[in-house]
Amino acid sequence: MCLGLPMTIIETDGISAMCAFRGEQRRVSMMLLSNPPAGAKVLVYIDTAMRLLDEEEARLIADAIEGLSAALDGEDCDRFFADLIDREPQLPAHLRSE
């Protein structure tokens, strides 16, 4: 299984970029994006930036990853999924029969 990481671009030459997440830095391909600037958040799979993220979406993904880590360590993970607590799961619009 592959998880997409919400990484922040530190510096870029348009073809690749040095990105960071949770204190780790790595060189990432930018070939699928239109030259995002330093400071932008990108979703990275297998060292390839797939799409731009806004701050809120990047935070939610980072919280989910932290929550998974906490759950695997046997710790309480509810605080990382605050947006899901006390609400029923919702189907995406394209799957609803309205």
Instruction: Note the pTM of the prediction, 2 decimals.
Output: 0.78
Q: Is pLDDT above 70 for 1? A: no
Measuring CA to CA, how many Å separate 31 from each of 12, 66, 79? 11, 28, 36
pLDDT at 61 over 70: yes
Q: Is 48 helix (H, G, I), strand (E, B) or coil?
A: strand
In tens, the pLDDT along 15-57 reads: 999 999 999 999 999 999 998 999 999 999 999 999 999 999 9
Architecture (CATH level 2) of domain 5-81: Roll (2.30)
CB-count burial class (<10 Å; 0-12, 13-18, 19+) for 52: middle
Distance separating alpha carbons of residues 95 and 98, to the nearest angstrom: 9
Residues in the chain: 98
Q: In the prediction, which pLDDT does 57 show?
A: 94
Q: What SS3 class is residue 96?
A: coil
